[in-house]
Structure 1
């Protein structure tokens, strides 16, 4: 169990986390989503005891991380895959981790095999690892003590499609055995496929949270047309509420049949018309974080 109870973190006049409260529960994968700069990494660092909260409390297994006896035996962390000693081999990195946490050294070979690092790769210096290999090594380090809790920040970075599928199966199996997973990722399709629960953060505040099924259930009708402004006006005239979607189109508080009839009467060509159910995580994410996302400007 990971619990945030009204956690606030300020850096001078900047508030990185503003009263953040949520839980990641045992036996479930919790997807932690938000635009760059929304507060995801800060929250994870607070949970790991690396960044003190200004107020509020974050606990892991019922206590602050730093008060856990030998915390590395209970909590596996991957916050930055590049934060590994470049001069050591992959095997040396894991062996040192095993010594520091008191884990049987035989676990090193088991974990290397689990994450798919070959004998040759395990003997290579980390400075010569690809990003994907560093990610696998970081996940191996997090799993070394077979902990009860995993906190993973962007663990899929650099993994190829086969590696992403492997990680998905790994996390599902881990949660099925009763483990707690808090997973941050920009790969929204993967979060949708692996997460049982989703927490969305924007501008340091939680903007949505619940089971994946609940959040993606939606309601009403999603419609896209050749002229959304004209269609919205026609829907308004018909007494129907229509809200613009960040990804384009409208979410209408009515059935698809009613929306289609209004569009036909207004002679607006429809490009998409479907129940709001199953809008998809990407669409929900952009709707919830539209005012928090950064726009990239081409030079």
Structure 2
């Protein structure tokens, strides 16, 4: 389990994390989402003992990461796939990690096979690896100590569709065996498929958290029309709660049939009308983070 308790991190006058609290539980994959600069990586670095907190604390398996005995045997980290020694071969990177953590070197071959790096690729210098190969090597390194917890920041970067599907199965299997996974990714569709729980952060604060089902269940009606301004005015006149969505259209606190009748009475042509519980993760994410996301940012 990972526990983040009232965590704050300041850099001078800038507050990167502002009283952040959440849990990533054993046996579950927790998706950690937010726009670029929202504080995801800072929070993960505090969890991993790489960045000191200004206030609050983060613990892994009930203890600060730095106090874990031989932490690589308990926590697998992938925070930057490019932070690997470019002059070593993939096999050398894993072999050195095995030596440092006291792992049987025979595990290196098992992990190379698990992540799909061939013997020829394992003998290649990391500087000659593609981004996807570096990610596979980084995942192998994170799994080297047979940890109970995985903390992965954008692990799918550079992976092709087959690689992403493989990683999804890997993470689900890890959680089903009782492991804890904290996963950051800008591939919202993958998070929706693999995550049991979701935490959304914006401007250094948690803006939503819960199970994937809870956050995506939604309510009311999503509607788009030829004139959303006129439709919103007509609905508001009936004392109906209306919220513009970040992806366009309106979220209306009423049933679809009622919204359709009121739109007809107002003479507004509808382009889309559906239940709010059909909203996907991308739509939910954009609505929650609209105030903190730049237009070009996906996660």
TM-score (ref. length: structure 1) = 0.98
2:118 aligned with 1:113, yes or no?
Answer: no
SS state of the match for residue 56, structure 1? strand
| Aligned twin of 2:252 | 252
Structure 2 matches for 1:202-217, cutoff 5 A?
A: 202-217=202-217
Inter-partner Cα distance in structure 2 for 1:164 and 1:143:
17
2:103 aligned with 1:103, yes or no?
Answer: yes
1:54-89 per-residue CA deviation (whole Å, 9 max, x = no partner) reads: 010100000000000000000000000000000000
Give the superposed CA RMSD. Answer: 0.9
SS state of the match for residue 246, structure 2? coil
Inter-partner Cα distance in structure 2 for 1:137 and 1:173:
19
SS state of the match for residue 41, structure 1? helix
SS state of the match for residue 36, structure 2? coil
2:211 aligned with 1:196, yes or no?
Answer: no
Inter-partner Cα distance in structure 2 for 1:154 and 1:278:
26
Inter-partner Cα distance in structure 2 for 1:92 and 1:176:
30
Structure 2 matches for 1:141-220, cutoff 5 A?
A: 141-220=141-220
Q: Which runs of 5+ in 2 are unaligned?
A: none
Inter-partner Cα distance in structure 1 for 2:20 and 2:240:
35
Inter-partner Cα distance in structure 2 for 1:266 and 1:295:
32
Which of 124-133 and 259-268 deviates more?
259-268
Inter-partner Cα distance in structure 2 for 1:16 and 1:8:
7
Inter-partner Cα distance in structure 2 for 1:224 and 1:108:
54
SS state of the match for residue 277, structure 2? coil
| Aligned twin of 1:266 | 266
Structure 2 matches for 1:50-129, cutoff 5 A?
A: 50-129=50-129
Q: What displacement does 1:148 show?
A: 0.1
Q: What displacement does 1:29 show?
A: 0.2
SS state of the match for residue 277, structure 1? helix
Q: What displacement does 1:288 show?
A: 0.7
Q: What displacement does 1:296 show?
A: 4.2
Inter-partner Cα distance in structure 1 for 2:267 and 2:287:
28
Q: What displacement does 1:265 show?
A: 1.0
Q: What displacement does 1:241 show?
A: 1.2
| Aligned twin of 1:284 | 284
Inter-partner Cα distance in structure 2 for 1:24 and 1:169:
19
Q: What displacement does 1:269 show?
A: 1.3
1:192-231 per-residue CA deviation (whole Å, 9 max, x = no partner) reads: 0000000000010000000000000010011111111111
Q: Which runs of 5+ in 1 are unaligned?
A: none
Inter-partner Cα distance in structure 2 for 1:295 and 1:234:
29
TM-score (ref. length: structure 2) = 0.98
Runs of 4+ in structure 1 off by over 2 angstroms are: none
| Aligned twin of 2:242 | 242
Inter-partner Cα distance in structure 1 for 2:19 and 2:284:
22
Inter-partner Cα distance in structure 1 for 2:143 and 2:85:
18
